[in-house]
Amino acid sequence: MRVQQVLMPSGEPRSWTLVGADLSVVEPAEAFLAYLHAVDRSPNTVRAYAHDLRDWFAFLDAMGLVWSGVRLEHVGRFVAWLRLPPAARDGRVVALPSAVAYCTPATVNRKLAAVSSFYEFHQRHGVDLGDLLTVWKTPTGRGGSWRPLLAHLGPRPERRRTVKLRAERRIPAVLDAVQVEAVLAACPRLRDRLLFTLLADAGLRVGEALGLRHEDIDPAARLVTVTPRRNRNGARAKGWQRQVPIPARVVRLYSDYLHTEYGDLDCDYVFVNLWSARVGQPLSYRSVYDLVGRLRNRTGITFGPHTFRHTYATELLRRKVPVEVVQRLLGHVSIATTSDTYAHLKVEDARRALVDAGWLSEQDTPR
């Protein structure tokens, strides 16, 4: 069982599928993955789903199960199977009780979410297993039998997974102001400094920055427009079109970059190759990650492109920008995504409020 890349005709983005040991396509998985590609999910998303479904179908093969005939008890066994080392999954090697789980709870939950989406898709095509991993639950308020007038109109039921491990919350890594400036100062070229300044001052995803056209930057209004579109370098913008205000230093850097490095190059992409053999081609993800590696060695600071986005959001929330405004600026579809990702701010905010109220002193605040 392996994940296989699929080259699409007519220059469409690549996709992924699942093939068995005999190299034949696993049809139920292929139908779902083809659907994800058709609704314009990113190739990386389709690939991640394919890898998660590979584990599910490998488990089914090992257990001698048919995908359309599984029950909830088999899902529980799948969770236990995922946490075994690969060498112990066929039953010929016994894992010691003290052995560290191979898959973390967060990884297991991600794979369960993929399997759940797979069965929800097939439920719409007549396979009666859509509720195998999810159930409808109505949010409850206060206990007791009393219900207010018109309670039958809301709240609406929510779909929740029936099997989910308790996963430790991961706090996003952020940079302080000194570290951000150190990385920017280490950029030898204006193009690179503009890229990381945009990530730091507008909270863009790296794919959103790499897909920018000159028409997307409005220096007079100090706005950057993020537009989902297909790009030659594979860069992608998630969600809907949105506008993000930018500070004056981004506008100045953009102007200096155009006049000093970009010159009279005839290209509509903002970030392009200027010193390699493919001059004028849009900058790729790989080029950016190579640049990140060089800057990490040069500064001694551990960071990735997404670290600037976390830093931007964290700083806005610390400055009391409403979470719904931060959600719009980041382009999150749900405000819950913003709240859950940056929940670590609640403790810091609570500590600061206690200091302001005189309950704690400044000496009680960790440095």
Give tens-digit pLDDT for 222-275: 999 999 988 888 888 877 899 999 999 999 999 999 999 998 898 999 999 998
Which tokens sit at 333?
Answer: 């579809």
In the chain the beta strands, taken as DSSP E runs, fall at: 2-6, 15-19, 134-137, 158-161, 217-218, 223-226, 242-245
H helical segments located in 221-304: 248-257, 285-299
Q: Are 205 and 228 in contact (CB under 8 A)?
A: no
pLDDT per residue as tens digits for the range 200-229: 999 999 999 999 999 999 999 999 999 998
Q: Which residues contact 89 (CB under 8 A, 6 or more apart)?
A: 59, 62, 81
122/110 Cα distance (integer angstroms): 19
Model confidence pLDDT, tens digit, residues 314-331: 999 888 888 899 999 999
Question: Cα dihedral angle (42, 196, 175, 207), rounded to 10 degrees?
Answer: 0
- Mind listing the domains of the chain with CATH numbers? 2-136 (1.10.150.130), 169-367 (1.10.443.10)
Local structure of 234: helix, strand or coil = coil
Q: What is the 3-state secondary structure (H, E, C) of 153-219?
A: HCCCCEEEECCCCCCCCCCCCCCCHHHHHHHHHCCCCHHHHHHHHHHHHHCCCHHHHHCCEHHHEEC
| Residue from 13, 20, 343 nearest 207 by CA | 13
Question: pTM for this one?
Answer: 0.71
